Structure 1
Amino acid sequence: MMQKLSRKFHAWAKGWLVFALMVLDMFFMGFVMPLIGGLMKGGTGTQQPIDLQFFSTPAKLFAMVESYGEFGRPFYRNVELTVDILYPVIYTLAFGLLISWLFQRGFKPDSKMQKWNVMPVGIWLFDLLENLGIVTMLSMWPSQLVAIAWLTMIFTMVKWTFAGASLLLIVIGLAMAARNGFRKKE
């Protein structure tokens, strides 16, 4: 399945599409998500989304959930069930196609490196699992499901690990493609 997805990413990795997806990703990262974060903070600047933590304890997570308040919890839950479902699809495609495009220019077509273009799928998977945990904690409040909190934090850490690995692959791809003058390797 991952090999098939890898081949699809390579087939879709056209310069214009990579560019369009990166612009869309930057729009979400630079405008939509900060706007939502500002709305979530309600002007106080104190509440931070659980998604942005690398590690936390259940006690801290439950304190965060409580701090969102009666109106913040449903708002955050709705964001997790709408925007934070769409955004992972966008950044998965943007990063997957960018890695594919760079690797097509930095490595030979039969290189084992070509298969690493699916790394962003890991971010997507664990982001969705993290969202499920967050939605569960927000929906079940004031119940404090410690096992769900721990699972959510594990999913979050794995998500950020995949994100770091994807960024590393982009840097490697950029260096190798630049070394080849950004010409496609045959």
Structure 2
Amino acid sequence: MKRLRKFIEKNISGKKVLGLFILTNLVYTFMLTVTVPKTMEFSNGMKLLDMMPTGYDLNYVSELFNSLGEIGRETYLTNQIPVDMIYPLLFALTYSLLLAYFLKKLNKLNSPFTYLCFIPIFAGIADYLENSGIITMLKSYPDLTEISVKTTSIFSLIKSISTTAFFIILIIVLMKLALKTINKKKSSAHKI
């Protein structure tokens, strides 16, 4: 925990955070506009497992993998998954540093609020575990097991819950920062 906290404090310069933010969102946009649509060309309109925040069951996975066919499953494994092995690290780094950057602006970085910066890291780890599960299922298809599907689905749920929680926290922090800025401007206007 201390090492991670030191790493965050050392790397929250505006330029680093902005650079990471741009890179992370370029990778995310690439997934949404290139690799996901390329894979979904084979899915007959069914959503990919990474795009199902509420999870899935054995029937859905079987139906999806069947719809994808051999070429679609191979595309999922060799196009979508490799990019999605870069994104969780970028997400974890970028958003923990971004939140730390804004907490520092609120003078809250050296408080228990710092632990909120670990939520994106938690989401990134869940994303890696989800990806590992998807890889395992794609490679073992058609021999899918209830346990592998349930485990992977749980990691998908953890990823989506922690990601949602993070963005709610980020919005609250940004609102507090906006209020602080407005109040500072009002008080300096009164002094004139």
TM-score when scaled to structure 1?
A: 0.89
The CA distance in 1 between the partners of 2:145 and 2:42, in whole Å, is 29
Amino acid at match of 1:65: F
TM superposition shift of 1:44: 7.0
Asked whether the equivalents of residues 103 and 176 of structure 1 are also in contact (C-alpha less than 8 Å), the reply is no
Q: How big is the alpha-carbon RMSD for the aligned residues of Structure 1 and Structure 2?
A: 2.0
Could you say which residue in structure 2 is the equivalent of 1:90? Answer: 90
Give deviations 1:5-61, integer Å, cap 9, x for gaps. 133122201111111111112212223332111111227761421011122211111
TM superposition shift of 1:81: 4.6
TM superposition shift of 1:107: 3.5
Alignment of 1:1-186 (within 5 A): 2-42=1-41, 46-54=45-53, 55-79=55-79, 81-181=81-181
The CA distance in 2 between the partners of 1:44 and 1:156, in whole Å, is 19
Moved more, 53-62 or 135-144: 53-62
Which is bigger in relative contact order (C-alpha 8 A, separation at least 6)? 1
Amino acid at match of 1:20: G
Name stretches of at least 5 consecutive residues in structure 2 with no aligned partner. 185-192
Amino acid at match of 2:48: P
Sequence identity, in percent? 23
Alignment length (residue pairs): 182
The CA distance in 2 between the partners of 1:138 and 1:147, in whole Å, is 14
Regions of 4+ moved over 4 Å: none
The CA distance in 2 between the partners of 1:177 and 1:5, in whole Å, is 24
The CA distance in 1 between the partners of 2:94 and 2:21, in whole Å, is 5
TM-score when scaled to structure 2?
A: 0.86
Amino acid at match of 1:66: N
